[in-house]
């Protein structure tokens, strides 16, 4: 059975399965769920996570009929400078705060997997959670430079991709080298949602009212944003690993 977005079911961990609970927290045991669970993956530095991340994630979950979404908080993005990058602990804490009371699971599982590049992370996740049906979520700004990512065609062959429109980037995304290859695999959100089985490559474009919030603006406005989270106890909600107070990216 595939959960419907109109009738979301909260889950809790018990012996590797997802079972209903009272809190609505979305968590997972190592063996994965006992049914095929549609799960969105949003990767990023989350430096910091903010309400815009939450909003686009929930919109995408509703549009595609996803049971839940995972935020993959990256230990380090090869395409982004390390200057102004907060510690992994602080960034994961901000993601945990923004995902409360939502079917969103922030995780630093890439550190446990020992992967640096998205293509390697996604292949490992597909093997580790065989009952999950994943879809990769990214903004139009990422599609514009997707051809620079290591193994980007392999990413597209590993799982479907949903691209969220972003003002100022959409034209570059539509004329990008990656889009020239992906265009033949484009499907509508309605068609994608109705599919009983997902196949890849598949590309879905999603549009909704833009959100003005950005991590860059937050850092410029308040350089000490991470101080709000440093006293918060932290355990990775996917791996259940306790995160130390000073673990860095």
- Mean residue pLDDT of the chain comes to 79
Residue whose tokens read 């919030």:
213
Q: Is the pLDDT reported for residue 55 higher than 80? A: yes
User: Cis omega (within 30 of 0) on the bond before 48?
Assistant: yes
Query: How confident is the model over 141-161, as a mean pLDDT?
Result: 97
Q: What is the pLDDT of residues 119-145, one digit of tens each?
A: 999 999 999 999 999 999 999 999 999
Contact 119, 21 (CB under 8 A): no
Q: Which of 74-78, 147-151, 177-181, 203-207 has the lowest mean pLDDT?
A: 74-78
Residue 61: pLDDT band with limits 50, 70, 90: very high
* Residue 97 burial class via C-beta count within 10 angstroms: exposed 0-12, middle 13-18, buried 19 and up: middle
0.85 surpassed by pTM: no
Examine the pLDDT at 90 and tell me if it is beyond 90. Answer: no
What pLDDT does residue 35 have?
Answer: 54
List Cα–Cα distances, 224 to 24, 86, 87, 218, in angstroms: 31, 10, 12, 10
Which CATH code for domain 35-241?
A: 3.40.50.620
Structural domain spans, the chain: 35-241
């Amino acid at each position: 059975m595939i959960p419907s977005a109109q009738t979301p079911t909260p889950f809790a961990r018990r012996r590797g399965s997802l079972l209903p609970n009272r809190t609505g927290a979305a968590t997972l045991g190592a063996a994965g769920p006992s049914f095929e669970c549609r799960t969105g993956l949003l990767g990023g530095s989350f430096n910091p996570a903010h309400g815009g991340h939450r909003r686009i994630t929930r919109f995408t979950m509703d549009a595609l009929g996803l049971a839940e979404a995972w935020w993959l908080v990256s230990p380090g993005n090869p395409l982004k400078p390390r200057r102004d990058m907060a510690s992994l602990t602080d960034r994961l804490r901000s993601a945990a705060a923004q995902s409360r009371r939502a079917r969103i699971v922030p995780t630093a599982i890439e550190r446990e997997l020992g992967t640096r590049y998205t293509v390697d992370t996604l292949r490992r996740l597909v093997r580790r959670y065989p009952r999950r049906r994943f879809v990769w979520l990214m903004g139009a700004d990422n599609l514009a430079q997707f051809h620079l990512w290591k193994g980007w065609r392999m990413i597209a062959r590993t799982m479907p991709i949903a691209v969220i429109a972003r003002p100022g980037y959409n034209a570059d995304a539509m004329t990008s080298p990656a889009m020239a290859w992906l265009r033949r695999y484009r499907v509508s959100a309605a068609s994608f949602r109705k599919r009983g089985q997902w196949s890849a490559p598949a590309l879905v474009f999603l549009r909704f009212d833009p959100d003005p919030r950005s991590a860059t603006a937050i850092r410029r406005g308040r350089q000490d944003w991470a101080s709000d989270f440093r006293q918060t106890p932290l355990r990775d909600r996917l791996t259940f690993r306790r995160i130390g107070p000073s673990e860095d990216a």
